[in-house]
């Protein structure tokens, strides 16, 4: 694809594509002449990822550059890219853990990992959970293991289905590129987190209405 064809296929203006190239978010195409380059499917996937990060995750250019830099480095495992994508989806800047290191980790975190038989390793979601639990404690709201487990069990089943959808393409189809895997992870996390929020609110409202419909004695 030439620039105008990539623009039409992606929905990004030619000016935006050139801007992403200057900012280091989009790799250069194959040089045809001094002023023309050929682009392929991976460039299209990268543009789709950038649009999701900017429009849905509201990520700044610097944060996107960090993620795309990881994706473009063959030495970096995809798991590290997924971790950075999770940080963006969570709206978390605690990638290096410096803020969390200033205080002891909330005890419910390690208790949860043990109860769920999850790896006891540092990660962005772990630090985000620690932050949430400290916030709950500060608000004098339940932050104990039983409360967290009530959410962790059903959410684990949701996560298991999400992981399964990221395990590659069905037999006979082309394996998705890393950009597409990251795109699905970010978009899915944001969209389905919103779904869980809405379903919880709907359930809360419905149960409250049903409880009020019971006549007083």
Can you give the pLDDT at residue 125? Answer: 87
Q: Which residue has the tokens 């064809």?
A: 5
pLDDT tens for the chain, 217 residues long, are 888 999 999 999 999 999 999 999 999 888 888 778 899 999 999 999 999 999 988 999 999 999 999 999 999 999 889 888 988 888 765 444 555 557 899 999 999 999 999 999 988 888 889 999 999 999 999 999 999 999 999 888 888 877 776 655 554 556 678 998 899 888 888 888 888 889 989 998 999 888 877 665 5
Domain span at 143:
3-212
Can you give the pLDDT at residue 214? Answer: 60
Can you give the pLDDT at residue 103? Answer: 84
User: Where does 56-176 have alpha helices with state H?
Assistant: 61-71, 78-90, 107-116, 124-138, 145-165
Structure tokens at 13: 């203006």
Helix (H) or strand (E) holding 30: strand 30-31
Contact indicator for 20, 53 with CB cutoff of 8 Å: no
| 14 occurs within a structural domain | yes
| 53 occurs within a structural domain | yes
Can you give the pLDDT at residue 99? Answer: 54
Rama region for 176: left / alpha / beta (φ>0; ψ in -120 to 50; rest): beta
Count of structural domains within the chain: 1
| 58 occurs within a structural domain | yes
Can you give the pLDDT at residue 173? Answer: 53
Can you give the pLDDT at residue 155? Answer: 87
Can you give the pLDDT at residue 86? Answer: 86
CA distance 189 to 95: 17
Sign of CA dihedral 136, 139, 141, 144: positive
Can you give the pLDDT at residue 94? Answer: 47
Burial of 81 (0-12, 13-18, 19+ CB in 10 A): buried
| 88 occurs within a structural domain | yes
Taking the complete model, does pTM exceed 0.85, yes or no?
no
Residues 6 or more apart whose CB falls under 8 angstroms from that of 40 comprise 1, 29, 30
| 217 occurs within a structural domain | no
DSSP per residue, 172-186 = TSPPPPHHHHHHHHH
Structure tokens at 181: 């895997």
| 161 occurs within a structural domain | yes
- Size of the chain, expressed as the number of residues it contains: 217
| 115 occurs within a structural domain | yes
CA distance 93 to 85: 11
| 60 occurs within a structural domain | yes
């Amino acid at each position: 694809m030439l620039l105008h064809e990539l623009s039409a296929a992606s929905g990004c203006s030619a000016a935006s594509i050139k801007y992403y190239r200057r900012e280091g978010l989009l790799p250069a195409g194959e040089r045809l002449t001094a002023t023309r380059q050929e682009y392929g499917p991976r460039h299209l996937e990268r543009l789709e990822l950038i649009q999701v990060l900017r429009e849905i995750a509201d990520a700044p250019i610097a944060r996107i550059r960090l993620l795309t830099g990881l994706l473009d480095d063959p030495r970096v495992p995809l798991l590290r890219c997924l971790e950075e994508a999770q940080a963006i989806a969570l709206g978390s800047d605690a990638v290096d853990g410096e803020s969390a290191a200033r205080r002891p980790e909330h005890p419910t975190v390690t208790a949860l990992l043990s109860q769920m038989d999850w790896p006891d390793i540092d990660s962005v979601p772990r630090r985000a959970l620690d932050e949430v639990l400290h916030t709950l404690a500060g608000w004098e709201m339940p932050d104990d293991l039983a409360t967290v487990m009530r959410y962790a069990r059903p959410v684990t089943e949701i996560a298991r289905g999400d992981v399964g959808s990221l395990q590659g393409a069905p037999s006979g189809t082309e394996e998705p590129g890393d950009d597409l895997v990251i795109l699905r992870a970010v978009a899915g996390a944001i969209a389905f987190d919103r779904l869980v929020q809405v379903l919880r609110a709907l359930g809360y409202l419905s149960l409250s209405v049903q409880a009020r419909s019971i006549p007083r004695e």
